[in-house]
Structure 1
């Protein structure tokens, strides 16, 4: 018994050492990626501004400048941009480190299940970010600019976007869409590990739609337009997830 206890302790120590090694590797890679990201942070921020600039030109709104109200605001905005960019670039490495840590405790069949999702997870997140940047931002910015520009008020309303507030809005929507595009992975894994079934997903469509709109209201800014632009793709992804789960289920048979 004493021998078994000591072996358990050694095993726990080895796991902790392995975890420590993985964390150190992840931190080192993150710092290495962060340095060039910070160097190009202003360029990255300019890329984020392109949809707004195009919407302003389309709405024929001229002479608009970004403002900042704190002397440190621009520095922290660029720092935030570089950190978030570094996390996105290094995400595949982080996911691989997590998998490499838990892999020894998985069966061979479970490893086969997880490996494709390691590739799909960052791909779908990046695809969600691309979709919101390429299609949702132009539509959303034009909608909001048109609404504000056409409003009838006693005093003139002037658009003066803040450097940090614009970044926060962009990041919030990008993360929301990136997470929303993880829905097929989450549901497919749940079916594969028999937490839920395909028939359950099909029978709970109405409930799923309600939950999707609730999640969209939490993840997006508090306006109906943003909620709908996130909810509709999530509903489509839910239906795509059912098809994916059916395919995986039939393939097992």
Structure 2
């Protein structure tokens, strides 16, 4: 019986539509398994995860003993559902190096060898930026809680449902983590030629306004403190991405053949 011969891989990374789907399915499976394994481990250490994420809440309660506030499970199934949701959240964060790599590896076959080397720096920056955003969110969480709980009228008590509290905390942390990947997206657009550094510089005023609007909308809180703490680093990262894109553009210009250079004064009809 004749063996089916495997189609040789294109040296330039070109794949058929079917190969793209199979590659996507394989990358998605690896990422999902990484999240699943990390989620199971997080479930084993659920008590430690619960204590770590609830510590900002208890920091506020210790700093404000006059406020009657507590965490409560509202239903019989609340403890189980909270265990599952927290385990998945920790699994997503802990497995971020794996699924971020899978995203990169899915894009790599469509890149040239030089673009692959550049994209390695792209990949190397994603995990630290994501984890930096996560750490910043956790650090300012007590201040954000103090602002929100500070709106409670005098004489009232806050009976905080555990499910609602951890839903707020996980969204708060993930928004910061994903938001810090914003400069990576800009650099990626620059690598494929869709976002030159000059365009980033010309549009910095609009970009800063949009960053603050995004920070106001994306964060679960409505206080200006959280918005500013989120938007200020994103603004700095925007200019950092511009500097990196400027270096890339200079390298592209240095390696561009002379016959591709176009004189703007000759090309312009005016």
Provide closer, same or farther for how the CA distance between residues 249 and 61 of structure 1 changes in structure 2, counting only shifts above 3 A. farther
2:230 counterpart residue number: 230
Q: Is 1:76 matched with 2:81?
A: yes
- Measure, in 2, the Cα distance between the counterparts of 1:205 and 1:101: 31
Deviation, 1:16, is 4.2
Q: TM-score, normalised by structure 1?
A: 0.82
Provide closer, same or farther for how the CA distance between residues 205 and 98 of structure 1 changes in structure 2, counting only shifts above 3 A. closer
- Measure, in 2, the Cα distance between the counterparts of 1:189 and 1:18: 20
Q: Any conservation in 2 of the 1:42–1:78 contact (CA below 8 Å)?
A: no
1:133 counterpart residue number: 138
Deviates most, 171-180 or 234-243: 234-243
| Structure 1 residue runs without a partner (length 5+) | 1-5
- Measure, in 1, the Cα distance between the counterparts of 2:52 and 2:89: 14
Aligned match for 1:65, one of 50, 65, 70: 70
Deviation, 1:24, is 3.5
- Measure, in 1, the Cα distance between the counterparts of 2:191 and 2:30: 31
CA RMSD of superposed structures (Å) = 2.7
1:209 counterpart residue number: 208
1:56 counterpart residue number: 61
Structure index of larger Rg: 2
* Structure with greater helix share of residues: 1
For 1:13-52, what aligned pairs fall within 5 Å after superposition? Answer: 13-52=18-57
Provide closer, same or farther for how the CA distance between residues 139 and 251 of structure 1 changes in structure 2, counting only shifts above 3 A. farther
Provide closer, same or farther for how the CA distance between residues 61 and 243 of structure 1 changes in structure 2, counting only shifts above 3 A. farther
1:159 counterpart residue number: 158
Provide closer, same or farther for how the CA distance between residues 217 and 104 of structure 1 changes in structure 2, counting only shifts above 3 A. same
The Cα offsets for residues 87-120 of structure 1, whole Å up to 9 and x where unpaired, read as 2222222233333344333211121122222221
Deviation, 1:219, is 0.9
Query: Any idea what SS the aligned residue of 1:160 has?
Result: strand
Aligned match for 1:104, one of 109, 112, 116: 109
1:3 counterpart residue number: none
- Measure, in 2, the Cα distance between the counterparts of 1:200 and 1:26: 34
Aligned structure 1 segments of 4 or more residues deviating by more than 6 angstroms:
none
